[in-house]
Amino acid sequence: MKTAIDTHTPRAWIGCLACYNEGRLVGEWFDAITADEVTPETLHGESAVAEAHDELWVMDHENIPVSGEMSPEEAAAWGRAFADVDEYHRAAVFAWVQSGDYIAEGTGDLPSIPDFEERYCGQWSDFDEYARNLADEIGLLDGIPEEIERYFDWDPWIRDLHFDYTECDDPEGGVFVFRIM
Ligand SMILES: [Zn+2]
């Protein structure tokens, strides 16, 4: 059974670089969307040490589909991008970005959500299931008598259809299907 825990909210572990260079890990997890509001005081309290410790850095993150460290501003941008996505679509956006075959917004790595919404065709157990459902929707075999319909050769039809689509694995099983525009 699925739990109600939201596993798709981008989060960032923001640490103090000066502390890090002194061999101490001082930092905390934050929702990425607030990453650019975190101040040295947030991490150190209102102490004198904070003044010399003014450089913050995202040393770890989760639910941000790129690897490596980043600035708090970058993490916040990812947080905002995902906040624009319906919660039940977040896993699909995540997989889309991770596939590398996605539409970025502007010049960065952030995904274009309008492009995602235009292309996303849902989560299916495999591409065949999507294709057969589509055939139903467009009435591909409407009007063809059943005794003839069962001789329809699905394989080449689905293979041709597939040229217009990409799919990304859903880590929880099945695939996310995207239309190539
Ligand atoms: Zn520090």
Query: Using one digit for the tens of pLDDT, what is the confidence trace for 52-81?
Result: 898 999 999 999 998 999 999 999 999 999
The pLDDT, as a whole number, for residue 5 is 56
Has residue 47 got a pLDDT over 80?
no
pLDDT-derived band of residue 30, with 50, 70 and 90 as boundaries? very high
CA distance 162 to 157: 9
Amino acid at 124: W
Backbone dihedral angles phi then psi of residue 55, each to the nearest 5 degrees: -105, 115
Backbone dihedral angles phi then psi of residue 58, each to the nearest 5 degrees: -85, 105
pLDDT-derived band of residue 6, with 50, 70 and 90 as boundaries? low
Has residue 7 got a pLDDT over 80?
no
pLDDT-derived band of residue 3, with 50, 70 and 90 as boundaries? very low
pTM for the whole structure:
0.79
Q: Which residues surround ligand 1, an ion (CB under 5 A)?
A: 16, 18-19, 26, 53
Strands 27-31 and 120-124: unpaired
| Ligand 1 geometric centre to CA of 72 (Å) | 15
CA distance 158 to 126: 12
Average pLDDT, the chain: 91
Query: Using one digit for the tens of pLDDT, what is the confidence trace for 133-149?
Result: 999 999 999 999 999 99
Residues sharing a CB contact under 8 Å with residue 165, sequence separation 6 or more, in sequence order? 121, 127, 130, 177, 178, 179, 180
Backbone dihedral angles phi then psi of residue 161, each to the nearest 5 degrees: -60, -35
Average pLDDT over residues 90-101: 91
| Ligand 1 geometric centre to CA of 51 (Å) | 9
| Ligand 1 geometric centre to CA of 67 (Å) | 24
| Ligand 1 geometric centre to CA of 75 (Å) | 20
